[in-house]
Every structure is written in structure tokens, then in C-alpha cells.
Structure 1
């Protein structure tokens, strides 16, 4: 049977539900015992053994049409024949399920470049997740909707590596030729979201639009800020600012017109979430939202965000409309300020430093941070890592493509760029402590308001970073990491260790200018 006909046949079966309402999907998930309802009306589900992304199980199909454009050093190939056999198996599996759930919508808030997508799910709660994270169509748009890309997700289908050519029972496979994302063996819903981001990271640059792993917001004067960083570095937390309108919390495009959100919802980490520290996220988790791996009291049905029994990577998916000060549609002008967020597990990077354009390019290509516990399968404590462009796992193209586009836009729009450390201070992980969130917020606000541009500063002797000596709302000694450590000698030893890691990592970038190479640690 032809490739597309197989899925079409499956979707014509009885008990295949198209764009069900939130209420219907919640009823279905409860009826099938996929999840439970919390006291806020949010749906809470457990994802079993896969509580984070599984990057070793993610593949791109090696197809002649796209083979020469993919960065295979950063992406795992899989043969067309292997993919197609697995695809037909998964469709046959879904045809035998009692029910199937389909969501049709979009990725990309800009009508000029949005992607029409279709999500086919085995689980009702996964389909609800898709509704929360992607952009819902209007009734009129749904009538003429034609999917350009399809996610097929069947967590109950477990691959046999010896037979199916995968690395484990789980698989996440993108076929650009067939325009399909095939997911099986894992219940972690974030795989759907990130797969479409990978797809957009291929499609948008070919339209001269920079795709970015960042959150974004806009001030009352129309000034736009971007927050780059890997999961857990604070993108969602810092972009949810009561004094600024949220554009989006994780994925954006930057076109000739400005910035737009790729998604229609937010996917926030909830470990240690509190109403006091993060009221906007706390209040956004309500009816229709989805909680992943959050411990819920059996009697009161109250979520316990401090309990990490299942994972540190507890999550909430919610509609962007749940955020009170959001800009809709999710579009704004060109950025005025860019902030690179890093959770430094070494505890030696300054809490904030202003970057030259060359330093901005160096740190964008480096993408230094720490993988936080639970974000990926097997990560149980922070690990220092370099993720090119702050999103290496989601970049199908060569990193230089994204970096050169960012450099051109920084130049073209005279953007101020800052490096902000949301990680450790006073010592490395295990000895120091996380930087006070209130201090980080104060530093970010000062950067956005231009209060640090003319502030007295010093040059860090090891990292070459320009550190402001004063910042409203932050004790002066906090701004200089060496002053927070009990031992200056221990600080310098750890700082040199990290500086060497930067140097070693940057050796892989062969075709960058000497100015950019020289912008790193000294």
C-alpha cells in the first residue's frame, strides 16, 4: 500500500477523533485511566521509565533529497528502508487500538511562514498536550487545513532493536522526504514538541528566517528581549515578567519583520515551583493544562511540586492564553536585547556580563551550560556541557548557518547582548548554591532598561568578560564570582578548568574568524 494511503486508511477508522475539545480529551484520558485530575483542574500523567528526552534514540532518515544538507556529525542517520518498515508497523499497531486521537493545527504564529501540522496519538492525554503546545486552528482554518507535516506517536509500540534497526525500544525519527515524525516506545510528551522544533530548524533558515531556542517578551515601549538557554536555565521563568508581555517561552523565529513564537503554549519545569516565586506559571496551570510526572496527593489531588519521586524533570504544559500578560498573536518587532542564559555548575562565571559582538558569537557557538537533572534520560545531577547555539540536539543544519544569521541580525539591529549565569555561586555544584532568583531578575531588568550600559565595570582576567561593578538590587560582591568563594585559590583553579573546557570545545569550529576565536577565555 502507498505510504500516505496507509495512514489515511487508519484515520478513517471508527473511533478516530479529530480535534476533540479539551473537555472531551480530559474525559477520554480519565476514562482510559491514562491520567488523574488535580485540584486545579489540570490533568496529571506519569510517563513511566522515560521522564525526559532520549537523544540517543532520535534519528533523521538519510534520504537523497536532503542528505547533503544535514549536519550528520550532530544527527544520527537511519536508512529509508528501516524507517518505512517501522512506519508501517506503527500504523498497523494504531489501527488495532480501540481509539485514536488527531489534532490538526500549526507551528509558527506568523501566517507567512507557519507550518500546518497533524498529530496522531495513541493516548488522549498526549493529544491534549499537542493542543496545549501547538497553535490551534479557528473553525474556518480547520475546514481547509492540509497537513504539511505529521507526527505519529504510539508509545505502546516498542521497537525490537535487532529487528527494527533502532538503539532501544524507543525511537524518534524525522523523515523530511515523507514529512513525518515517527515516535514510539516513550510516553514522554516533550518528544513531540521538540521534534517539530527540529523540523522548523530545518525549514525556517531555508526561508531566511533564524529559528531560535529562546523565550521572548516585549516591554511597554515595544522593546523586545530574547532569552537563549537550554532546558532548566530559566527561559520560562525569566520571560514570565509581570511588567512585560510574553511572546513565547521556548521557540521562536526571527524574520525580516521581527520575532514570532513557533508554539501556542508553554512547557515549564515545575520542580520546586511556588506561587510566591513564579506566580504567573503557578496560576497558568489550570483546567486543560497537563502535568508530567508531578507527585499528586491521592486524597486532596493537590500537586506537590517539591517532590522529585519520579524525576527532577517535572513539567507543566499549558495554553499561552493562560498567561495574563501575553501578546496575541505572538508577534513583535526586532530584538533590542539578547540574553544568553547558562547554569554554570562550576560556579565561576559572573552572574551577568556584557558581550561584544565577537563574544556574543563565541558564546552562541559554545552554548555552555549544565544539563540539569532529569532533562535527559540518565542525567541525575548537573553536568557541564556545550550545546552549540544553545540547542544542538534540535539543529539539523550546520551550526555555522544559525550563527552567521544571528551575527548579521545583531549587527543589523544594533542589539545589546548579555551573558547571565543562573547556576552556582560561592562554589561549584555540591559546595556552592544556586544564584538567588531575585538577584537574577534584578540584573535582567537592569540590562533591559539600559542601566548597565554605562555602569562602572571590570574585565574578568580569565574569561575576558566585562562585569558591571554595581547593579540595582544586587549586592556588589555577588557580581564578582571570585568574591563569593571562601578560597580565592580554589576559585581560580576551577575557573581555569572551565576556561580550558571552552578552549577545547571551540577547536571544532574550523571556519570562524580570528576575532571570534580570540573572544573566548584568555
Structure 2
């Protein structure tokens, strides 16, 4: 890694600013945001903002500097490349665009384990973006102290600046550019705040494996003996809902590292989706949206300034950003012991997968690399039947290295820890979407509890004839028929066809992993898919 003087760059930017506000606390940032017309308060005091044309990430506009460190290591199929010269031009022009601006600087931490910590400085002309990242990263001294050897990171956030593809090598006027050698990030042409958060995660995903740390896009909580449970899952599978349990302290909501000593949170906050947020199903998250200083992105307010979480007129990707400390049960220091349980969440809209299945370590790696869930009909124009979605490692857009690097590390961690791995399906039963019904949350919670507390250890199981994983025959409090999806379908022949169809989708998706496609999943899936 190239040694780089981050503080000199930060000082140069600060000297050119019209004014500088460093490490303002939430009330000050709220006031500055309101006075600048960037936001408005909800009836409960949360900060409501709009992100303009971009209401989500722009993965096709993410670029990594291609240099001696990254040339042969980065998964270039998943990221654009900039030359060092193009990045330096972009950096210089972005810094110049901050001349005379009111500037907000936040000095924060990423990584609750001091041995694997980043000292992150974000510089932005937007008070609400400063509040957002202050909510989401670790505020030194609140729960985690700064280590003595934290890796410096500087993020230059210039949402009003437009990149020039001819000059900067970008695809459009929007660019998220990462220099892995110097740990510099430039974000331009988008106001979507998630780009700041995910750029930190992308840096971590690149560097952590070199230190023997598995970076993970997952939530994590603690059992009664301090052992961690991990929850992987794409959007809509229930990751945030199921990991927020008042009886199991939350380590973190979204991004973690698994080191030789256990699990640690990368962040100090939560970035929860609020679409159709329910005070009954998700009481902790709902309460957090009413907290002063929480940032609500693209949430529609009614005439009384009350959030309307069912309103998707702006976007379905409505979100709340708040510090983890506002939740009622959190893990001390945002760390936990070596995981005892790993849960892969999926929402199978085909109605094929059982609500729970135990995976062998080899099957676990297969499903980790597959990262499967399914979109339901009606969520997008032209989608009339369930569509499979595969995202390697349950977070492909944030993975600078090839997925098999992370898959191999997971295999080693599972072998060393002996952690049990479960596939938990929160999707449909009795038929696919439009015919069957969603598995009820009560049954899902009972299944999850049984997996976490060891109740399923040693119970009688059947081996699924298509997918090859082990499925319990009975779980207390759960209708036994639910555990065998084929029995819930009125037309069992239709189930068989749909199951083979889904198996084929898995097989075709996995072909991109080359030789690994012949070994990881085991023979049952392959034979059925043929």
C-alpha cells in the first residue's frame, strides 16, 4: 500500500473552504441542515431529506484505480477501472469544486476491533450528509475507542460536482472512485448517501482478507453465552427484522468482519429500509424513526409531517439512518465471540424451498456464492412471474475481489469454528407468488429460535431429493406440512416442475464460477437441473 499524507490533503481542502465545521454533533448538524434548506423535520423530530434523481446506488458508476496493487487482484468484471492519472485529475477537480464552500468534516472510525480499524474522514458541503455518516460510522469514544494504528481513509464527497467522462474516465457525470492504494474516495454527481457508507465497506472488503479477516455483508447478534449468530440476506428477506431481537443483543445491522477472535461491527449505526415499516413487526426500527437526529431518506410526509411508510411514490428504497445506541439491546463494544450459527436468508417467491434447511459446509459455500432470493411479480414493470436474483456473497456490488476469495475464507472459518449453517426461507408456501401465501413471521421466528438455541440438533431430518440439504421433519410450534413444501401445493406435479426450474436457475448462475461449479454444490442439484 502506498504511504499517503491524508492530513495534508485534508488541510489543503479545509484552507480553500469558505468555512469549516469539524465534528459537529447531531443537534448542530440538524440546525445547519434546516437553515440551509436541505431538510425538514418530521413531527417527531427526525430529519427528512430527498436525494434527488438518485434514490439508490449507482453500481455501474463505481470505479477502482488500476495500479500495481489492484491490477491482478480486483474482480474487474464487477468494477470499472481508472488510471492513476484519471483519478488524480478527478481528485483535483473535485477539490477545486469545494473552493469557497461551507464544508463539514467528520472524523470517525470504521471497525470496532482496534486491530482492524480505519480512521475515516469525510469532507462534504452538505450538513445532512455529515449527519448521515456520523449516524452510521463509529463515533470515537462512544462505544469504541480509537486504536493506535488505525488506517487513514479520506472521502471527498462532492454531490454537486459533475464528472467529465472524457477527462476523468467515468461512464457518466456520476462517479464513485476508489483508490485502494492510498485509501482515497471521490463521490460526485449523486446525493444518495448510501454511496458514502458503501465506499467504506468496499475499501474494507479489499483490504480485510490480507489480514485474515472475512468481510461480510450481514447482520449479527449475540446469544446468551456471548456466541455470535450471522444473518446474510438480500433486500426483502428479513435480515434486519430477524436480527433485531430484544433477547439477543445486536452487534451490528449490515457490515462485519470475522477475525481469528470473533466478529466485529464495521459501523456504528443502522441503515434500515422503511418501506411498509410496521410498529408491530419491527418495533425497534419504527421507534428509531421517531428519534431526533435520525435521517429519513425519501420518505413521504403527510400534511402533519408524519411519515407515510407505505407511500412509494418517490422510491421503494426509503431508508432510516440512526446510531445503533438508540436500539434497546446492543452488544457491548459491538463485538462478539466466534459465530456458532450462520443463517442464509432467502425469500423464495417460487414457493419451492423449505422454510428451513441445514447445510453442510460445502453447501454453505455454494449458497454463499449464489446469494439467492427472488423478486415478486408486480414490483417492476413487465415482471409477471417470480424472477430469481443472485448476488454473490449476498453483496456482489461491494466486493472488489473475486467472490471465490470470500467463499474460500468462509469455508475455512466454518471448518475452524464448527458453526452450524442454516438456509431460512421467508418466502412463499403452497405455490409461488400469486398462488401461495407468504410464510408467516411467527413460524419463521420459531424456526429461527430453534436453529439458534440448538433445538434442531439431532432431530430427524429428510434429505431434499433435488437440493440435497437436510430438512427437519418436525419443529415444535410449526405446522409439519410447512416443512415439506411439496405437500403444501395443490398440484404436486406443478411443484416438481417449478423445483426443477429453480434448480436449473441455480446451476446456470453458478456456471460463471468455472471449475468451482463442478464441486461446490454436490451432485444432487446438478443431476436434477439436467
Please indicate the TM-score interval, normalised by the length of the shorter structure: over 0.9
Displacement of 1:175 in angstroms is 0.8
Q: Deviations over 1:61-88 (max 9, x none)?
A: 1112321221212222122222222221
Partner residue in 1 for 2:14: 11
* 1:383–1:108 CA distance, 2 compared to 1 (3 A): farther
* Structure 1 residue runs without a partner (length 5+): none
Q: CA deviation at 1:14?
A: 4.0
- Is the contact made by 1:251 and 1:262 (CA closer than 8 Å) also made in structure 2? yes
SS at match of 2:182: coil
Mark the CA change 1:483 to 1:94 in structure 2 (over 3 Å): closer, same or farther. Answer: farther
Count of residue pairs brought into register by the alignment: 519
| Aligned partner (choices 147, 152, 156) of residue 156 of structure 2 | 152
Q: Confirm whether residue 194 of structure 1 aligns to residue 198 of structure 2.
A: yes
Segment drifting more, 382-391 vs 242-251: 382-391
Match of 2:186 among 177, 182, 188: 182
SS at match of 1:188: coil
- Residue 109, structure 1, aligned to residue 101, structure 2: no
- How many Å apart are 1:421 and its aligned residue? 1.3
- Displacement after TM superposition at 1:459 (Å): 2.1
The question of whether the paired residues in 1 share the 8 Å contact of 2:177 and 2:186 is answered with: yes
**Cα deviation 1:158-182 (Å, max 9, x = unaligned):** 2343454322222111111232111
Alignment partners' CA distance in 2, 1:87 and 1:374: 42
Q: Per the alignment, do residues 495 and 8 of structure 1 end up closer, same or farther by CA in structure 2, a change over 3 Å counting?
A: same
Is 1:404–2:408 an aligned residue pair?
yes
Query: Structure 2 regions of 5+ residues with no counterpart?
Result: none
Equivalent-residue separation in structure 1 for 2:415 and 2:336 (angstroms): 19
Give the stretch that moved more between structures: 215-224 or 319-328.
215-224
1:217 Cα shift?
0.5
> In the alignment, which residue of structure 1 is the partner of 2:249?
245
Partner residue of 2:81? 77
Is the contact made by 1:223 and 1:336 (CA closer than 8 Å) also made in structure 2?
yes
Q: Look up the SS of the partner of 1:508 in the other structure.
A: helix
- Residue 483 of structure 1 deviates from its aligned partner by 2.8
Check 1:81–1:106 CA distance in 2 against 1; reply closer, same or farther (3 A cut).
same
Which consecutive aligned stretches of 4+ in structure 1 deviate over 4 angstroms post-superposition?
A: 2-7, 139-147, 371-376, 378-383
SS of alignment partner, residue 57 of structure 2: coil
Measured in 1, the distance between the counterparts of 2:163 and 2:430 equals 46
User: Structure 1, residues 397-420: CA drift from partner, whole Å, max 9, x if none?
Assistant: 122221111111111111110001
Aligned to 1:357: 361
1:388 aligned to 2:392?
yes
CA distance in 1 between counterparts of 2:221 and 2:300 reads 31
- Answer yes or no: is the 8 Å Cα contact 2:153–2:183 preserved in 1: yes
Work out the CA distance in 2 between the residues paired with 1:410 and 1:143: 28
User: Is 1:295 equivalent to 2:295 in the alignment?
Assistant: no
Task: Determine the C-alpha separation between the residues in 2 that align with 1:340 and 1:252.
Answer: 15
Structure 1 residues 311-347: Cα deviation after superposition (integer angstroms, max 9, x where no partner): 1111111101001110120011001110011122322
TM-aligned CA deviation for residue 381 of structure 1: 9.8
Q: CA deviation at 1:301?
A: 1.4
1:54 matched residue in structure 2: 58
Preserved CA contact (<8 Å) 1:51 1:374: no
Aligned 8 A contact 2:237 2:426 in 1: yes
With structure 1 as the length reference, what TM-score do the two structures score? 0.93
Q: 1:175 & 1:75 partners in 2: Cα distance? A: 13
Alpha-carbon distance in 1 for matches of 2:421, 2:332: 26
Shift of 1:472: 2.6
**Secondary structure at 1:329 match in 2:** helix
CA distance, structure 2, for counterparts of residue 494 and residue 78 of structure 1: 44
What is the aligned partner in structure 1 of residue 177 from structure 2?
173
2:474 is aligned to 470
Q: Contact between 1:161 and 1:167, CA under 8 Å: does it hold in 2?
A: yes
Query: Residues 144 and 334 of structure 1: is their aligned pair in 2 closer, same or farther, counting only changes over 3 Å?
Result: closer
Partners of 1:104 and 1:142 within 8 A in 2: no
Q: What per-residue deviation string (whole Å, max 9, x for no partner) do you get for residues 5-61 of structure 1?
A: 565322123411111010010001111111111122211111122111111111111
Q: Quickly say closer, same or farther: Cα 1:466–1:81, change in 2 above 3 A.
A: same
Cα distance in structure 2, aligned partners of 1:104 and 1:328: 22
Q: Counterpart in 2 of 1:135? A: 138
1:306 to 276, 298, 310: 310
Given candidates 126, 137, 160, the residue that maps to 1:123 is 126
Distance in 2 (alpha carbons) for counterparts of 1:351 and 1:428: 14
Answer whether contact 1:273 1:282 (CA < 8 A) is retained.
yes
Give distance in 2, aligned partners of 1:340 and 1:310. 30
- Give me the whole-angstrom Cα distance separating, in 2, the residues matched to 1:243 and 1:381: 38
- Structure 1 contact 104–147 (Cα < 8 Å) conserved: no
The answer to whether the 8 Å contact 2:89/2:167 transfers is: no
Q: Which moved more, 1:170-179 or 1:482-491?
A: 482-491
Q: Is 1:427 aligned with 2:431?
A: yes
Q: 1:347/1:170 Cα in 2 relative to 1: closer, same or farther (>3 Å)? A: farther
Residue aligning to 1:369:
373
